Amino acid sequence: MCWESNKYASVEAKLAKMLAKLNRPINIRYLRNNETIDNDNYPNNNLLFVLNRTCEDANTFLRWASENLKFRKSYRWLILGETLTINDSTRYVVSPDFNDIKISVDSEVIIIDEKENSNEVVLYTFYKLKPHTEWIIEDYGTWTPHTGFTQSKDRIESNVMRRKNFMGESLITSVAISDNRTKTDLLGLGNIFIDTPAKSSFRIIVLLFDFLNATKVVKFSETWGYFINGSWNGMIGTLGRLVMFLVFLAFVFLYTSYSANIVVLLQSTSNQIRTLSDLLHSRLELGLERASFNKFYFSSAYTADDPIKKALVETKIAPKGVLTNVMDIEQGVRTMQKKPFAFNMNTGTGYRIVSAIFQEHEKCGLQEIEYITNSNPWLCSRRYIRIQEHGLSDRENRLIYAKKPACTVMGGSFDSVNMVDFYPVCLILLYGMILAFLLLGIEIFVHRKQMKIRNQLQVE
């Protein structure tokens, strides 16, 4: 506000006292002579800017606010002075002073239009979909000395619900793929084992373009992104956000048992390996899905701060500094079925293969161990609640991903046993037989000795 301090001192004092008496006291600060505020001095969710456009430095302050992103979501603005004019077609037009100001869809900027020869004050909000588009003006409400503020009926819904028509404007989304054929088959389900995360995510995101009446622009990248030379490449570099994946390690089986007729292996679940530390000290071999992100998550750079993960990489995954046992997801699942084996994979895709090739009793031996944890300081928020409410995301995920197979049969099947599986039992049997023959020999020797002594006594 460009109030002269000596002229409006009493008004400022009265306003400060009035705001201080509210249930939630409000602090007020006046900016004069091209003065600005530091970004960190005030929390953005409690800050309201009141600007009088008749002030000499008003346009300078607007440009400063635009450059420092003060019109984005959470900041609120109330602009006084002539901002709207009526053109020849009786339509409101925003002042040219705002042409270079970044007021976008998530902004909340209220302008006051005083009616001539009337005590009524009309409030509007305005924004742009993109810098090159026209201003969109919305009714906010009216104020009079007698009735106070009356909110417009259109303001019942939030900005998110009202501003969902992008009028065909383009929105950019980025997709990380490993096979170029995916570029022309993102929505197809012909081969869901290629670029599964990309296809699943895109089928959900494409619904947002229909909801928002927007034109989709898809950018493809070969990786999700790596931090190289001080910047991110891949999809993270394109979108400016981190994408993380949770992958699980699974293991199977087994201990032995035999009966009087046959020697069998009874497959059974086990809960002995439940953490990465248990996996590290177990005899399970470890395999990795052939995926670009595994080169990062199982590298020395990612595991430097975690001694368990570091030891796991150095002993089981890359003992000589090179990743071993890297295989296709189907090969890894089949290896996991045949022998004690832990396999790092995309569980949504891997479980589909497990459901196809595993026997029912084999599915009971599956167990998951979380390897990647979210350590980002930011609070992630997903903004496709409407899609979830309608069940659309669940439908798309069911078409591509598979859940962990249910365990319906436990310990109800027998399988052939390899020699290595019951080798200790054979050793015990062999040692027992040797001991039995040894005891038999001792018994025969003792018996003959006793018979010889008895015969000698009878002769005497």
Q: Which of 159, 141, 135 lies closest to 72 in space, CA to CA?
A: 159
Instruction: Judge whether 92 lies within some domain.
Output: yes
* Helix axes of 329-338 and 347-357: crossing angle, nearest 10 degrees: 50
Q: Which residue, 141, 162, 183, sits at the end of a domain?
A: 162
Say if residue 217 is in the same domain as residue 266: no
Say if residue 174 is in the same domain as residue 147: no
Q: What confidence score (pLDDT) does residue 1 get?
A: 57
Domain that holds residue 277: 248-368
Q: How far apart are CA 47 and CA 76, in angstroms?
A: 7
Say if residue 238 is in the same domain as residue 377: yes
Q: Which two tokens mark 408? A: 């319906």
Q: Which two tokens mark 372? A: 């990647």
The whole-model pTM stands at 0.49
Instruction: Judge whether 77 lies within some domain.
Output: yes
Say if residue 272 is in the same domain as residue 362: yes
Instruction: Judge whether 262 lies within some domain.
Output: yes
Q: Which two tokens mark 75? A: 């900041």
CATH number for 287: 3.40.190
Strand partners, 137: 126
Residue type, 16: A
Q: With helix as H, strand as E and coil as C, how does the chain read?
A: CCCCCCCCHHHHHHHHHHHHCCCCCCCCCCCCCCCCCCCCCCCHHHCEEEEECCCCCHHHHHHHHHHCCCCCCCCEEEEECCCEEECCCCCEEECHHHCCCCCCCCCEEEEEEECCCCCCEEEEEEECCCCCCCCEEEEEEEEECCCEEEECHHHCCCHHHHCCCCCCCEEEEEEECCCHHHHHCCCCCCCCCCCHHHHHHHHHHHHHHHHHCCEEEEEEECCCCCEECCEECHHHHHHCCCCCCCCEEECCCCEEEECCCCEEEECCCCCCCCCHHHHHCCCCEEEEECCCCHHHHCCHHHHCCCHHHHHHHHHHHCCCCCCCCEECHHHHHHHHHHCCEEEEECHHHHHHHHHHHCCCCHHHHCCCEECCCCCCCCCCCCCCHHHHHCCHHHHHHHHHCCCCCCCCCCCCCEECCCCCCCHHHHHHHHHHHHHHHHHHHHHHHHHHHHHHHHHHHHHC
Instruction: Judge whether 436 lies within some domain.
Output: yes
CATH number for 100: 3.40.50
**pLDDT tens track for 331-345:** 999 998 888 888 988
Q: What confidence score (pLDDT) does residue 441 get?
A: 93
Say if residue 361 is in the same domain as residue 378: no
If one counts the domains in the chain, the total is 4
Q: How far apart are CA 209 and CA 205, in angstroms?
A: 7
Q: What confidence score (pLDDT) does residue 185 get?
A: 79
Q: What confidence score (pLDDT) does residue 434 get?
A: 93
Say if residue 229 is in the same domain as residue 377: yes
- With vertex at residue 66, the alpha carbon angle to CA 136 and CA 85, rounded to the nearest 5 degrees, is 40
Q: What confidence score (pLDDT) does residue 407 get?
A: 79
Instruction: Judge whether 213 lies within some domain.
Output: yes
Residue-level pLDDT, tens digit, the chain, 460 residues: 565 555 656 666 777 777 667 666 666 666 666 566 665 555 555 678 888 887 777 888 888 888 888 888 778 888 887 777 766 555 678 888 888 888 888 888 888 887 777 778 888 888 888 888 888 888 888 888 888 888 887 776 677 778 888 888 888 888 877 778 878 877 777 777 777 877 888 888 888 888 888 888 888 877 666 666 666 656 665 555 434 333 333 433 444 454 544 444 444 556 678 888 888 888 888 888 888 888 888 887 777 788 888 888 888 888 877 777 888 999 999 998 888 888 988 888 888 899 888 888 788 878 888 887 765 555 555 566 777 778 888 888 888 888 888 877 665 555 566 677 778 878 888 898 999 999 999 999 999 988 888 888 777 6
Q: Which residue, 368, 391, 411, sits at the end of a domain?
A: 368
| Main-chain dihedrals φ then ψ at residue 318, nearest 5 degrees | -135, 70
Say if residue 78 is in the same domain as residue 218: no
Say if residue 384 is in the same domain as residue 363: no
Say if residue 354 is in the same domain as residue 266: yes
Instruction: Judge whether 76 lies within some domain.
Output: yes
Q: Which residue, 127, 162, 197, sits at the end of a domain?
A: 162
Say if residue 440 is in the same domain as residue 351: no
Say if residue 336 is in the same domain as residue 399: no
Say if residue 40 is in the same domain as residue 135: yes
Residue type, 166: F
